Structure 1
């Protein structure tokens, strides 16, 4: 004789992301991504890395005094006002770049490696945005 007992597997709910000051990270607010350890370079920015002037890729600025470019986090669920861990979102540089590209972060294969570039497509998860 067998009996079935329903087992519920509890998945912990995602945690809200906080900035270095402990404040909740808000959708659409401009932020800078900076290294936590002083003397380890500057913030995140766009630069040419492919022996060409365009497209631009996401890199860390060499100089500690360079905060990089401001960016925003936008969850694919626009009703969410805050950013949550392990949820889909778009990361978009707020400043214009010197290249005609979108400034939305995405993963791209280049020379056999995955690199983070700044020419993705903003939007909800789909085949067009899976690498964002």
Structure 2
């Protein structure tokens, strides 16, 4: 048939290496705690769900990390909602500080079949998760505004919901920075684990402090994760 060469061509293209095609990698669910897909903290241990971490700059000579700031609304009493990178040069006073983060990965029925129960909470590269600032004071009126989400301008703000699968704005992923040390946050327009759908990397936008989707892959900001003691 005349269509056979076309079919063969389509099949051959579909099996091109992902690095060549520019598509994100397929998700491989964990089967043991030593899987290379696990996100690691600065001590070399897997990052786990529910624990508290600082996301610090993966840059030598820079201190600080991810924090939250009050948007320029003219209302200083409003809850801070802008997710920002807060940094200073090492040794500069006062040093920039970051806020503690906690990760909540997507829960799937299939995960119940994992061979080892102690691997279920390991954060895996490119696996959907919610990100939330730690609420140190539950009585704080802003404590409910701690979960990350994308706003209409594709900037990251608080006010998201943990576990709400029908709202993709609440879900992020973490990937290894192949161009350097540390990890990058990104966002996919899907929660599908095996789908080869393009994703958007998170960098600095606007004034250079706000975090959000950087469509041109400029000003990307890699982080390392330090587990809180």
TM-score normalised by the chain length of structure 1:
0.74
2:145 to 96, 102, 110: 102
Q: Secondary structure at the match of 2:55?
A: coil
- Aligned-residue offset at 1:93: 0.8
Residue 51 of structure 2 aligns with which residue?
29
1:58 to 70, 83, 91: 83
Residue 130 of structure 1 aligns with which residue?
168
Gaps of 5+ in 1: none
After superposition, give the CA deviation of every residue in 1:107-126 in whole Å (9 maximum; x if it has no partner). 112xxx32111111111421
Q: Which has the higher helix share?
A: 2
Q: Secondary structure at the match of 1:131?
A: helix
TM-score normalised by the chain length of structure 2:
0.46
Contact 1:42 1:62 in 2 (8 A): yes
Counterpart Cα distance in 1 of 2:169 and 2:48 = 23
Counterpart Cα distance in 1 of 2:70 and 2:60 = 25
Distance 1:82 1:100, change over 3 A: closer
Contact 1:34 1:67 in 2 (8 A): no
1:68 to 83, 98, 101: 98
Counterpart Cα distance in 1 of 2:121 and 2:85 = 28
- Aligned-residue offset at 1:20: 2.5
Superposed CA RMSD? 2.9
- Aligned-residue offset at 1:98: 6.1
After superposition, give the CA deviation of every residue in 1:72-96 in whole Å (9 maximum; x if it has no partner). 1111217631111222111111125
Gaps of 5+ in 2: 18-24, 29-36, 112-119, 171-229
